[in-house]
């Protein structure tokens, strides 16, 4: 394994709590393929057969889908250490659910899907750990998708923002907290445009409901935010 890739792999949730020595052994067991891509080159195309799960080692990738009208919709931008293709890999359909393209010169490690469903001949603990990690990743993403569906049922921008802010306040145990997403990620999660979301946050600050600086938020009038939350969130 190239030492230059080690830092990216250690950042990937798929390899959490796996020591470097064990990681090297485990990768030898998985026999991954590494490929390089130029800017603008496609890593995979939506609908193509999927036999692997990808981990970005270097560069940046864009995950895109095409609408029925033929317009490209950017679903995510990936940084080194991030995983892609894991949700569809075990669905039985085995087709890439979206296209992935290189935004700059990038290197990707591909792990064979079938290696996740069986333990290696040596029954190494690192192999078992990566399977557990993958189950955890898929479970968290499923919960996130379920949570996103709940937000899609909310009609207004303010309702969505108040629901999210009150959830963050409760999960972090106070009215001052750091959001778990940046502005772009939050806009994507709420299925709204970032400029419109930023304007609404500004209006809420001007009305004295909240205050914020970068990723930090302070709820000044929680009872007012609760009024916009269906069933009091």
175 lies in some domain: yes
Q: Tokens 């864009």 — which residue?
A: 62
Both 215 and 191 in a single domain?
A: yes
The CATH number linked to 194 is 1.10.10.10
Both 80 and 133 in a single domain?
A: yes
| Domain-terminating residue out of 110, 143, 176 | 143
226 lies in some domain: yes
The pLDDT tens digits of the residues spanning 182-232 come to 888 898 888 899 999 999 999 999 999 999 998 899 999 999 999 988 665
**Residue 66 to residue 96: CA distance in whole angstroms:** 13
Token pair for residue 53? 């799960």
Both 98 and 129 in a single domain?
A: yes
Q: If you average pLDDT over residues 119-144, what whole number do you get? A: 80
Both 8 and 114 in a single domain?
A: yes
Mapping DSSP onto H, E and C, the string for 124-143 reads: CHHHHHHHHHHHHHHHHHHH
201 lies in some domain: yes
User: What predicted TM-score, i.e. pTM, was given to this entire model?
Assistant: 0.70
Both 35 and 136 in a single domain?
A: yes
Residues of the domain holding 11: 3-143
Both 21 and 121 in a single domain?
A: yes
Domains: count for the chain: 2
Q: How many other C-beta atoms can be found within 10 angstroms of the C-beta atom of residue 13?
A: 15
53 lies in some domain: yes
The pLDDT tens digits of the residues spanning 69-95 come to 777 777 788 999 999 999 888 887 789
The pLDDT tens digits of the residues spanning 154-189 come to 889 999 999 999 999 999 999 999 998 888 889 888
| Residue 157 or residue 141, greater confidence | 157
Half-sphere exposure of 88 (CA within 13 A, CB side): 19
Mean pLDDT is lowest, of 132-136, 151-155, 203-207, for 151-155
The pLDDT tens digits of the residues spanning 6-41 come to 888 988 999 988 888 888 888 888 889 999 999 999
7 lies in some domain: yes
| Domain-terminating residue out of 143, 176, 193 | 143
148 lies in some domain: no
| Domain-terminating residue out of 143, 165, 184 | 143
The pLDDT tens digits of the residues spanning 92-116 come to 778 999 999 999 999 999 999 988 8
Both 167 and 122 in a single domain?
A: no
């Amino acid at each position: 394994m190239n030492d230059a890739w080690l830092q990216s792999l250690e950042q990937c949730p798929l390899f959490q709590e796996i020591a470097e020595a064990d990681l090297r052994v485990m990768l030898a067991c998985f026999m991954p393929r590494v490929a390089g891509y130029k800017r603008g080159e496609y890593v995979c195309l939506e609908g193509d057969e999927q036999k692997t799960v990808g981990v970005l080692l270097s560069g940046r990738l864009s995950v895109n889908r095409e609408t029925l009208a033929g317009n490209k919709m950017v679903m995510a931008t990936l940084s080194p250490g991030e995983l892609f293709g894991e949700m569809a890999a075990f669905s039985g359909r085995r087709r890439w659910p979206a296209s992935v393209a290189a935004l700059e010169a990038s290197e990707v490690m591909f792990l064979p899907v079938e290696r996740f469903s069986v333990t290696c001949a040596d029954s190494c603990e690192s192999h078992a750990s990566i399977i557990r990690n993958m189950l955890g990743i898929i479970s968290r993403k499923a919960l996130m998708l379920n949570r996103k569906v709940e937000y899609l049922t909310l009609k207004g921008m303010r309702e969505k923002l108040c629901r999210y802010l009150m959830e963050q306040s409760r999960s972090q145990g106070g009215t001052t907290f750091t959001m778990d997403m940046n502005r772009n990620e939050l806009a994507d999660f709420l299925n709204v445009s970032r400029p419109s979301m930023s304007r609404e946050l500004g209006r809420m600050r001007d009305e004295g409901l909240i205050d914020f600086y970068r990723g930090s938020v302070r709820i000044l009038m929680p009872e007012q935010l609760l009024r916009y939350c269906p069933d009091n969130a």
